[in-house]
Structure 1
Amino acid sequence: MHVRALGASACIGNPGYTTCLLAGQDTLVDCGTGAGTLSTEDILALRSVLLTHSHLDHTGLLPLLADVHACHDGPGLDVYGLPETLDALSRHFFNDAIWPDYARQENGKSWLRMRPIDVGDTVPLTNGLATALPAQHTQPALGWLIEGPWRALAYSGDSAPCPAFWQWVCGVPSLTDVICEVCYNDALQALAGKQGHSTPGQLASYLAKLPSQAQFWVTHIDSRCRTEVIQEMQRLCPANLRLSMLKEGTLIEL
C-alpha cells in the first residue's frame, strides 16, 4: 500500500493545497483542498474518509466529494471521526442551508455514512489497517496510524505536543514514517499554544525516541515562517532520523 500527499500546506495559494492524504486508491485521510486534484474517476473510487478534526482546512472538500458521488450515483463515503467532529459537520455543513444533507437517506441510500469512533478504534483498509490516535488541538482531534503489509506511518493531524501520541507511535514495531505538523517556529510558541499547534523546540525530546532511521515528514507549516521552521528542524533533528518536508505528490510506500 502507498500513501500519497495530495495537500500538505497550512493555507491555499503558494505553496499549495491544504491537508489531504490518499491511502491506497480508496481512502482519504482528511480532505482539505488537496482532494480537489483528484479526477471524477478517482473520487468515485473512494470508499472512506478518515478525519482528524473539524477545521475547514481538513474537511472543506468533503461536501464536494459527496456531491460527485450523488451526481454520478457512486457508492458514497464512510466518514470516520470523533463524534464531536461528525456532529460539527452535520450542523454546519450538511444542514440544507450551506449544503445538502448527504447523510440523510433517500430511497434507502445515503451518500455520506457518518461513523463515530474514538481513540484506539480501528478501521480496516484495503491491504492495511488504520488506528485512531490521541491528539491535542483547539477542537476535539485525532491522529492516525496507517499500517500497511510491511511498514507503518503515523500522522499527527493538527496537534500541540501530545505525549500520548508519541508514546503510542514509538511502541509500533513496524513504524518507518511520521508525518507531523510543525506550524510555527519557536519564536511563535505562544501563538502555537493558543492555536493548538507545535514548534520545533517542543518536539525535540519526542524525536529522540523515534526508531533509528525513521523518516520524519514535516507538514502544515505556516507560510509566514516556513524558512525559520525548516532551519530549526534541521538544527534540532537527531542525526539518526531522516528529515523531509512533505510536499504535494510525495509518495510513501507501506
Structure 2
Amino acid sequence: MSTTRSVLVEPHRLAGWLFRFEARNGPYTALRAPASPSAGGTVAGVRIVARNGCSAVLAPPLPGGPAPATAPGATPAGAGRSAASAAEVLPDLLSDLVHGVAPDLTVGLLLIRRGGYSVGVARSGQVLSSKTGTRYVQGRTAAGGWSQQRFARRRANQADALVEETAARAAALYRADPPSCLQLGGDRALAESTLAEPVLAAFAGLPQVPFVTVPDPRFAVLKDAARTALAVRITVTDPPDPKA
C-alpha cells in the first residue's frame, strides 16, 4: 500500500526540490494535473511520476492560475543534473505553477482557534504587522437539560466575542496595509465566521491560499504561516510496496 504525505515548498526552493525528487526516485515525466476545487476558485497543478512509481501533485499557491504550459505526455528529466539545471528541464512547469505569485505579494493572515487568535499582514515571507490575543471559550459538556442549554448559550456568546475581536483586529491591520490575498487557518468554522463579519466585508472576496490547520495561534505560528503562505503545495505518493 502506498503512503501519501504533503509538504510546502516555497517557490524559490522548487527547483531544488525537483532535483532531489529526481535523485531519489529516478527520471520523471510531467503532466497537467486535473483541476480540483480550492478556496476561492479552482486549482490546476502539475503531476510528476518518477521511474520507480513515486508521484507528486504540485498545486499552485493561489487558485485560478493557468494550467502549466508543459504539454501532456512524457517530459523526461535527465538523471544526474544539478539543482540549478532542474529549472531548465521543465521551465514552463516552474514558471506557470507560480504565475502571478510575486515574492512580495501582500498576504493577510487570519488564524483562529477556540480560545485565541493571531492576525497579521505579511510580505516576502515576513510578518509586517500583527496582533495576537486570547479569549476563553468553554469546551463541550455532556450535561443535559436546562443547565446544558445555559452552557451552550454561554459558549456561543464566548465564541461570538472571539470572532468579533479577531475580525476587528484583522480589519485594522488590513486597512493599514491592504493585502492581495488571504491565508486562513486554525478552526475552519471560526475562520469563516470571522471573515463573514461586516468589518471585513472589503476583504472577504480576496483570493485565498489553501486553508492551514495550525495549533494554538501564537505569534510563532503566525510567523510560520507567513513564511509558507505562498508555497507550492505538494502531495507525494510513494511507490507501492512490492512486498504488500
TM range (shorter): under 0.3
> Structure 2 length as normaliser, TM-score?
0.24
Higher relative contact order, chain-length normalized (CA < 8 Å, sep 6+): 2
> Structure 1 length as normaliser, TM-score?
0.24
Q: Which has the larger radius of gyration?
A: 2
